[in-house]
Amino acid sequence: MISVENLSKIYGTTTVVDGVSLAIKRNSITAIVGTSGSGKSTLLRMINRLVEPSSGRVLIDGQDTRAEPAYLLRRRIGYVIQGHGLFPHRTVAENIATVPRLLKWEAPRIAARVRELLEVFQLEPARYADALPHQLSGGEQQRVGVARALAAEPGVLLMDEPFGALDPIIRDKAQEDLLAIQRRFGTTVVVVTHDMEEAFRLADHVAVMSAGKLLQYDRPAVLLRRPADAFVSRLTGLADRAIRLLSLVTAGEAALPGTTDGPTVAASVSLREALSELLWCGAQSARVVDADGAVRGQLTVEAILARGRP
């Protein structure tokens, strides 16, 4: 649980973050979105005190973040930035071992943890452990960056535009991996992004910022159905908000009892993709199946469309 209380940052006469308060639940993913210059990065960086707040405070699990020196606080919080920031003179394994080494873990424990993370991120240890960052592809570098941030099993992971530099296909995979890893380790993730698609895909809660102020902090569906003001509705995509609503629900969640002889869709895909499939096939209903092929129910075009209304 992270609680941000009335947090402000003022540089000279410019107020970059203006009295923001929000409570972030444990084991959730929160996205902070906004246009550039909205203060979203500064807000994130005040959580691990890379930027010291001008006023207000941040509590993590009830403890004020100012209770210990900033560098000790940061060792308990994972941090991922755009362009990964890997150390070019250190191998992949050494990069991942950075925080465990700072925490003076025993060598065997570090080696085991590095190995585990390499496997979790599908980086074969024999091939990647001793490679230098420049020998990796962009997607691999990004995965090492996330693995490095998670090395010391932090309860909180802060990410600043983590996937901004990746091409669409690799970004898609990186987002999928992040969701899987968040479920596996139960980390509380706060991610800054300007990509609404990404925010809706990843986040349980979205915080919309503009000119240093927090405009709305809610579940994605609420943001779409009841935007706090015109700016939020414009940012979240006024024109295709119905379609975006569909992308928040999976076929499995929306499946109705019964079955049909229409096309088959996986339970894990969103209603948006299911609808697209139905349009493509010219069918009125589809069968929803599990990963193991068992039929979970059916979906009709009407039932899908009903989910896209306010």
Binding site for other proteins (CB under 8 A): 48, 50, 71-76, 79, 81-89, 98-99, 102, 132-134, 145, 148-149, 158
Q: In angstroms, give the least distance from the CB of 48 to other proteins.
A: 6
Task: Kindly list the distances between the CA atom of residue 175 and the CA atoms of 166, 210, 253, 258, in Å, as whole numbers in the listed order.
Answer: 11, 25, 21, 33
Phi, psi of 6 (to 5 degrees): 50, 45
Q: In angstroms, give the least distance from the CB of 81 to other proteins.
A: 6
Buried b (16+ CB within 10 A) or exposed e, 124-135: ebeebbeeebee
Q: In angstroms, give the least distance from the CB of 91 to other proteins.
A: 10
- For other proteins, give the closer residue by CB, 16 or 151: 151
Q: In angstroms, give the least distance from the CB of 220 to other proteins.
A: 27
Q: In angstroms, give the least distance from the CB of 98 to other proteins.
A: 6
The interaxial angle of helices 107-120 and 138-150, nearest 10 deg, is: 140
From the list 159, 239, 255, the residue with the least C-alpha distance to 198 is 159
The interaxial angle of helices 168-185 and 138-150, nearest 10 deg, is: 20
- For other proteins, give the closer residue by CB, 53 or 262: 53
- For other proteins, give the closer residue by CB, 136 or 199: 136
Q: In angstroms, give the least distance from the CB of 135 to other proteins.
A: 8
Q: In angstroms, give the least distance from the CB of 113 to other proteins.
A: 15
Give 261-268's long-range contacts (Cβ < 8 A, gap of 24+).
261/287, 262/286, 262/287, 262/298, 263/287, 264/288, 264/289, 265/289, 265/299, 266/290, 266/291, 267/291, 267/296
From the list 109, 175, 119, 188, the residue with the least C-alpha distance to 142 is 175
Cβ count within 10 A of residue 221: 14
E strand or H helix that includes residue 277? helix 271-281
- For other proteins, give the closer residue by CB, 83 or 139: 83
- For other proteins, give the closer residue by CB, 66 or 241: 66
- For other proteins, give the closer residue by CB, 83 or 125: 83
- For other proteins, give the closer residue by CB, 36 or 239: 36
